Amino acid sequence: MSNTFGETLKVTIFGESHGTAIGAVIDGLPPGISIDWDKVRREMARRAPGSSNLATPRKEKDSFEILSGYFNDHTTGTPLAMEIRNGNQHSKDYDILKDHMRPGHADYTGYVKYGGFNDYRGGGHFSGRITAPLTFAGALARQVLEKEGIFIGAHALAIHGIQDRPFHPLGEEKALFERLDAMKLPVMDEKAGKAMEEAILAAQKEGDSVGGVVECMALGLPMGLGDPFFDSLESEMAHMMFSVPAVKAISFGEGFGFASRYGSEANDSLHYEGGTPKALTNHNGGVLGGISSGSPLLFTLAVKPTASIGKRQRTIDISKKEDTDLSIGGRHDPCIIPRAIPVIENAAALVILDLLLTDRRNSHVG
Amino acid sequence: MSNTFGETLKVTIFGESHGTAIGAVIDGLPPGISIDWDKVRREMARRAPGSSNLATPRKEKDSFEILSGYFNDHTTGTPLAMEIRNGNQHSKDYDILKDHMRPGHADYTGYVKYGGFNDYRGGGHFSGRITAPLTFAGALARQVLEKEGIFIGAHALAIHGIQDRPFHPLGEEKALFERLDAMKLPVMDEKAGKAMEEAILAAQKEGDSVGGVVECMALGLPMGLGDPFFDSLESEMAHMMFSVPAVKAISFGEGFGFASRYGSEANDSLHYEGGTPKALTNHNGGVLGGISSGSPLLFTLAVKPTASIGKRQRTIDISKKEDTDLSIGGRHDPCIIPRAIPVIENAAALVILDLLLTDRRNSHVG
Amino acid sequence: MSNTFGETLKVTIFGESHGTAIGAVIDGLPPGISIDWDKVRREMARRAPGSSNLATPRKEKDSFEILSGYFNDHTTGTPLAMEIRNGNQHSKDYDILKDHMRPGHADYTGYVKYGGFNDYRGGGHFSGRITAPLTFAGALARQVLEKEGIFIGAHALAIHGIQDRPFHPLGEEKALFERLDAMKLPVMDEKAGKAMEEAILAAQKEGDSVGGVVECMALGLPMGLGDPFFDSLESEMAHMMFSVPAVKAISFGEGFGFASRYGSEANDSLHYEGGTPKALTNHNGGVLGGISSGSPLLFTLAVKPTASIGKRQRTIDISKKEDTDLSIGGRHDPCIIPRAIPVIENAAALVILDLLLTDRRNSHVG
Amino acid sequence: MSNTFGETLKVTIFGESHGTAIGAVIDGLPPGISIDWDKVRREMARRAPGSSNLATPRKEKDSFEILSGYFNDHTTGTPLAMEIRNGNQHSKDYDILKDHMRPGHADYTGYVKYGGFNDYRGGGHFSGRITAPLTFAGALARQVLEKEGIFIGAHALAIHGIQDRPFHPLGEEKALFERLDAMKLPVMDEKAGKAMEEAILAAQKEGDSVGGVVECMALGLPMGLGDPFFDSLESEMAHMMFSVPAVKAISFGEGFGFASRYGSEANDSLHYEGGTPKALTNHNGGVLGGISSGSPLLFTLAVKPTASIGKRQRTIDISKKEDTDLSIGGRHDPCIIPRAIPVIENAAALVILDLLLTDRRNSHVG
């Protein structure tokens, strides 16, 4: 099992949805950083359920407590540990899920991997709830990056086929990111946003769910981040993003669009702009040879429809060893994207800060 | 820099395109494995240039030498090191590339990251040539997997917009994989294959290149591979695949197709088949919750058009600090996919064997 | 900073002496292990202060809480996190230590390393208190090892020059280990034990402290543990032991005694005993070529006198930037060995279980 | 198996004594370093056999070849790989060792660990010969450190009970280190040196061998190196040193001497010297709380007598499964210390540079 991510900035995640607490230990955060906790809480609130009519009204107590690594209003340089106590969930609601494997979930794969000892309640260690400590850790990283002039934004590029306009590959205003942050469903095209909301609520009425695409951009990245051969910027970012439940694809720059391009259309030409090299285009999404190119980092993620649906599905009962039907009770997210967006933004910040700190060691010739 | 991949099976890659040698050190291979070296050479030959009219006629001596870790026809359990001596390349051809940054390459990002000390000849450490040792390491892993009944196949799902038929999500015949292995451009639909070849040769005539999509499948994976929270099967596979030059996107199962599905269409229902649970569909590409589900592992990769093209491109001359035009001489691959396919298959084998050995370690209750 | 130890069984430690909580996250523990929590509490109690007249009477609340990874009386296979809340320490007592650097402590080295942002109260992250979560993690590992027939014991081989008799290199009775476990100062020679106690209490009267030597033995280790070239059994054990505050030397088998031996006296001859190879002697302390030899693992540790003493010492005041005298108030351990012994035993268990789980993957030929 | 060492500067070692080649891959070396290869060769020559009458006259071709990572007289920042081809050893001489397990060697532990697949010739991967690539890697690190004003020296503190005078804990002249480097048996007390030589030659006459103690000092270390809780300077140095064959104990500062000290004798008092804090003594060998204190780093190592001796020893024949006598032919080192000293100095450099680069990474507040 590996629940630790990072080369220089190491984050360890623990917890199960219905256990005593979930949390994170962040090791490698430089000393002397003063954290704006309200800002961290805002990121946590964006992810938390019950925040809008597009998400599950289920309330979760996501109030975190710092256990170590923060003293006199600054990071100490030693591990910063945090925990979020799990509220009194109605674990009873989940008893049926002990034997009835939810399609599209890790219920059965987890059952097999752990020989039946996994905590099945609410998905246990595979619950989306485990993204709360990840969001927390990322929110710290994000504050460090912002002091370095690195800003991250994301929006719903598509939900159930309805498209928002994409980010401009050569960059957007930082102010746009702030506006998106404030939206319950971050989009640039209001009309598309309305249609997306309707599609989400319609699916919910049917006891169903919808998926979509999230587009994420990072502005202000210095050149040189990423450690090929294996730890390229794309490798590290993809590694992290596939830890976010429901993410099933990642694409940098034109991604699958490259499949119908000519090389002459895919390469980004360089030229001098006031003495400094600049790219005229950004087909490659800010990464060349696995290393940040100085153009905005741009990637998109496919997010599958929430697996938990009320609609009747066929599945198995592993205690009776027979087929059965399952309609998942409780109140679930008809679309996870509104809550996935802050997770993605902050998880991206974690990857970028790790690569930034790792890269700096190379700039020291003994 | 991290040039080592793997948790249990650790592979370290070294070398530059025009240096003395490239190679790999493979640490963690169990002792007592007898390798079929001809089979390894076949995989190396599939990747090597000069193998067909679709690839660069440039010949590379890819004959490898084992330096350690293999004794009396078996692995010893200690590091298996190999090297491939670089032939006498015409480095002179590359002198112009010292100052003229090739668009779409790591020339300029590498120059900045390494403060101008990188070996620029032929792309140095970022050359596609570095995939030779990766293919070697993967070919060893693949032999181990085949003894376990795990088989991997890949084909060109698309080249410059022309589509081959996709693999059946619930699996294909192992025999099909063998047929594909033998093709210079592995496809299932011959007509599509012909059209793809024509598109490649047409681009070549124009001094241009084309991209496409590779689809890869692994049959026979046991359930339980993948180590969430962070080291999910998708995370590990994506991490590796983005180390392969020109890969710009990865998608598992329906990938971006999920964006327009309902949950009821995206979940894979389970049922009992002769007493054992089976999935009725495989929308999720054999991975649920980051763990192998027992269905075939299925993923697609976007491969961008070869960045090296003869067509005149605008770029910069970093010594004169001025804009310039560049037409890349030498003979390059008009499409890298025929040679990328064996790299992808074998690199996938490396990831799967690492997860397999890692998982077994956990299955031991003290 | 690295606060994570282990290749297969990864333990992450966090916390400061006077912070909110200290704790550990244990990742890689196989699923399905049922823990005897009373046994764990007993190990914690052996380490806790206030347990005898030989230790500081200062009481610490070492009652731990499990946050995750344990469900229905078994480990889940996902991270097992625990925390120990820090009681209401009189941090005020430590205010003087903000500026007055205690000789023999990490006060000043930590101040410099963390740019003055370290939590200085009670030694912060460098406090001996941080060995509580380490003891906890080790106590879990120890239970797993005992089920495998591996038993660990330790005693005070020397305190302030007074010698106990050493373990017999070829092994002791498991029952002896249990007797030692129950002693406040584990020794085999009662007379020596009495003299040691007197030496400790005499030093305490003078506001001083004493050091000594701990000898540790592990019985029942299978052959083959340890992963040279770098991760030899000795390397891993030493790495861990030097994490235990006050340990300043480690020696395997005859250790420094080898310096005056002939090879013919230092080698351990093998012979067949009922068909199985056995060593006639154990000069090498159960390790050959960095790998467990099947003989008992035997090592000794030098433990320096407690650095915190009442006696007046010369040191610096970093705020006034002037020399000063310091007499450390509060009630400190006149000798740390009685409390260090359970830490050492359990930390050793952690190393052995990690190597055991790591080794097993090698025995799987694909 | 882990054959990679280091957090920021990662060194991977491969090879067997009688295989095709041995070597190292060094990943994480900053770009732009110009290496003095003659200096590296000198370090290699100090370690190589056949250099003096105190070492085996057996000649080994230790001429190394750089395979990658060095271009235009500077490191590139990508992996620097080197190899040493193994000369045409008389492997036949070793055939008897296939079945006759040499006491004091890894022959039998390696046989068991690798299920009999290990390369037994000349000790295979456990041969002292594998320290050649380690010495090479360390020699590079040492050059980087010297540019930073960090110098390392070592000498034979004792051989078979005969003592040299110890280094002064507060430091020695850099010039002394150079004098020691030039000696075939580095000692400060010539008389002791003579007596040591006689002891070595006398043992050799008897077909026996002798052990001793090596003392190593590093001058100029900045404060703050070492990454507790687990990766303390002592932990990292010990981890590395126990990778050096024949090392059986390590001690920092007064080491086992602490066992009979009072705290008031063991603590190092600080005072201001020209405005900067200095320690008045260095009982702790330059490490406090696992972090470099600014005083010279000082440690001693117990080196056991060479296990290969001509004297008749009792052991087992694993093919006949019976006891036998063994007198090891060939020409072996009667004392390994003269050749171990350069290995230890350079291996220490590797650890220090890794900690230095790692620490700098942390000193960057975002």
Which residues in chain D are closer than 8 Å to C268, comparing Cβ atoms? 103-104
Q: What are the chain B neighbours of C30 within 8 Å (beta carbons)?
A: 362-366
A179 is in an annotated binding site: no
Q: What is the mean pLDDT of each run of 10 residues along chain C (366 residues)?
A: 92 96 97 97 92 71 91 97 85 77 94 94 91 98 97 98 98 97 97 98 97 98 96 98 98 98 97 95 98 98 96 95 92 94 98 93 51
Number of B/C CB contacts below 8 angstroms equals: 57
Inter-chain CB proximity B230 and A125 less than 8 Å: no
Longest dimension (CA), chain C: 73
The pTM for the full model equals 0.97
Query: Angle B306-B235-A284 (CA atoms, 0-180°, nearest 5)?
Result: 30
Q: What strands lie across the sheet with B64-68, from one edge to the other?
A: B4-5, B10-14, B21-27, B80-85, B64-68
Quick one: closest CA in D to C100, which residue? D270
At residue A364, the pLDDT reads 46
Per residue in D112-136, pLDDT (tens digit) is 999 999 999 988 999 999 999 999 9
Note which residues in 75-114 of chain D have CB less than 8 A from chain A: 77
| Nearest chain A residue to B234, by CA | A242
What is the C-alpha separation between A239 and A216, in angstroms, rounded? 15
Q: Over the stretch B186-208, which tens digit does the pLDDT of each residue have?
A: 999 999 999 999 999 999 999 99
Reduced to 3 states, what is the DSSP secondary structure of residue D140? helix
Cβ-defined contact of B302 to A255 (cutoff 8 Å): yes
Each residue's pLDDT tens digit, D247-277: 999 999 999 999 999 999 999 999 999 999 9
Minimum-distance CB partner of B362 among C30, C144, C145: C30
Calculate mean pLDDT across residues D151-173.
98
Percentage with pLDDT > 70 across chain B = 95
Kindly state the percentage of chain B with pLDDT values over 90.
Answer: 88
3-state helix, strand, coil in chain B (%, to 5): 35, 25, 45
The per-residue pLDDT of chain B, averaged, comes to 94
Interface test with A, best of C7, C10, C12, C14 (most A CBs within 10 A): C14
Q: Which residues of A touch B306 (CB under 8 A)?
A: 263
Q: Is A102 annotated as a binding residue?
A: no
Q: Say whether D1 and B125 touch across the interface (CB within 8 A).
A: no
Position B366 scores a pLDDT of: 41
Q: Which amino acid appears at position D354 of this protein? A: D
Give one DSSP letter per residue of C249-310, joined into a string.
Answer: EEEETTGGGGGG-BHHHHS--EEEETTEEEES--TTTTEETTEE-SSPEEEEEEEPPPS--S
| pLDDT at site B87 | 83
Best mutation target, B13, B67, B127, B361, to test chain D (most D CBs within 10 A):
B67
The per-residue pLDDT for D362 is: 60
Backbone angles phi, psi at C4, to 5 degrees: -120, 135
Domain boundaries, chain B: 4-363
Neighbours of chain A (3+ CB pairs under 8 A): B, C, D
Each residue of D307-354: pLDDT tens digit? 999 999 999 999 999 999 999 987 789 999 999 999 999 999 999 999
Contacts of A357 in chain D (CB under 8 A): 361-362, 364, 366
Strands, E, within chain C: which ranges?
A: 4-5, 10-14, 21-27, 64-68, 70-71, 74-75, 80-85, 151-159, 162-163, 212-219, 247-252, 270-273, 276-279, 287-288, 291-292, 297-303, 313-317, 322-326
Between the CA of residue B119 and those of B127, B129, B331, C185, D73, what are the distances in Å?
10, 14, 20, 63, 11
| Contacts with A148 (C-beta within 8 Å, 6 or more apart), sequence order | A220, A356, D366
Q: What is the CATH number of domain C4-363?
A: 3.60.150.10
Count interface pairs A-B at CB distance under 8 A.
364
For residues D286-303, average pLDDT: 98
| Cβ separation D1–B71 shorter than 8 A | no
Q: Are B241 and A250 spatial neighbours (Cβ–Cβ below 8 Å)?
A: no
Asked if the C-beta of A69 comes within 8 angstroms of chain C's C-beta atoms, the answer is yes
> Measured between alpha carbons, how far is A314 from A316 in angstroms, rounded to an integer?
7
Mutate to test the interface with B, among D7, D16, D17, D67 (most CBs of B within 10 A): D67
Using CB atoms, pick whichever of B161, B315, B318 lies closest to residue A259: B161
Residues 253-292 of B with CB under 8 A from A: 253-272, 275, 277, 280, 284-285, 288-292
Residues of C in contact with A14 (CB under 8 A): 25, 27, 67-69, 78-81
Q: Do D365 and A148 touch (CB under 8 A)?
A: no
Give backbone dihedrals phi and psi of C109, rounded to 5 degrees, phi first: -65, -40
Lowest mean pLDDT among B59-68, C84-93, D31-40: C84-93
pLDDT, one tens digit per residue, over B148-183 is: 999 999 999 999 999 999 999 999 999 999 999 999
How far is the first Cα of chain D from the last one, in angstroms, to the nearest whole number? Answer: 36
Q: What mean pLDDT is reported for chain A?
A: 94
Report yes or no: B1 and D68 within 8 Å, Cβ to Cβ: no
C314: nearest CB among D109, D206, D269: D269
Give the pLDDT score at C360: 78
Binned at pLDDT 50, 70 and 90, residue D88 comes out as low
Q: Which of C178, C150, C152, C171 is nearest to C357 (CA)?
A: C150
Contact B255 A270 (CB under 8 A): no
Name the residue among A293, C229, A270 with its Cα closest to residue B321: A270
D303 Cβ contact partners less than 8 Å away, ≥ 6 residues apart:
C258, C259, D211, D212, D213, D214, D246, D247, D248, D336, D337, D340
Task: Give the 3-state secondary structure of residue B298.
Answer: strand
Distance CA C279, CA C269 (A): 6
Instruction: Convert the pLDDT of each residue in B277-334 to its tens digit.
Output: 999 999 999 999 999 999 999 999 999 999 999 999 999 999 999 999 999 987 789 9
**C356, B366: Cβ pair inside 8 Å?**
yes
Instruction: For residues D271 and D285, give the distance between their C-alpha atoms in angstroms, rounded to a whole number.
Output: 17
Q: What is the pLDDT of residue B97?
A: 83
Measured between beta carbons, which residues in chain B are less than 8 angstroms from residue D80?
14
CA distance A362 to chain D (A): 5
For C1, the 3-state DSSP assignment is: coil
Could you write out the DSSP letters of every residue in A221-274? PPTT--BTTTB-HHHHHHHHHTTSTTEEEEEETTGGGGGG-BHHHHS--EEEET
**Does the pLDDT at position B364 exceed 60?**
no
Inter-chain residue contact C315 with D269, CB threshold 8 Å: yes
Residue indicated by tokens 């493979």: B26
Residues A136 and C294: their CA atoms lie apart, in Å, by: 47
Residue listed under structure tokens 């230890």: D344
Tell me how far apart the 2 most distant CA atoms of chain A are, in Å.
Answer: 73
> Cβ contacts (< 8 Å) between C229 and chain D: which residues?
2-3, 13, 125, 130, 243
